[in-house]
Structure 1
Amino acid sequence: MQFITYQGHNTLSLRQLDQLNGVPKGTTFRLFKRCDALQEGQDFLYLAADAAPEQIRAWREAGLIYPATVNVVLLTETGYRKLQTMAGR
């Protein structure tokens, strides 16, 4: 799986994590929304559509994020581990 490197972090998008875990679209997002333990800047990065429009477009075109994605959430390795713990994996 190709990492998305952003602001010095190797991250994966919600789409990539859905694919990696073989789960339906939106599964990782729903888990992310329930995980209050995640800290922005450490466990995940949030990019509003107007913060990096060219980068978001490039990720969309490369198939790294879902086509309808507007604002992007990128999970770091620590964030992914926390999600896995929450999911009981």
Structure 2
Amino acid sequence: MLSNKKIEQLIHLPDLQFVRYCEETYCVNRGIYNIIDAWFYDQNMINVSSRRKIIIAFFSYLNKDTQKIKFGPGGVKAHLENFWNFKKDSQIESA
């Protein structure tokens, strides 16, 4: 699990370095990263820093047992929707 300090450092990297971090750490290619980034943007995550934080949280959520995250056909969207619902449920429970 990443510390808050490490996350703060990561989210402020230049775009290319942040994408490379995601590629190296979570083994997702740039195309998958772009789909994920655009999906969160479409969910009104307009602020880049907030979106990068949730992208890291998404990858961490998926990356529990394995280093490489694999998506099958339509898998990215399904995983994003599951994660989004999980986050909403977690916020409701903690309210």
* TM beyond 0.5: no
User: RCO (CA 8 Å, sep 6+): is it higher in 1 or 2?
Assistant: 1
- Structure with bigger strand share is 1
- Structure with bigger helix share is 2
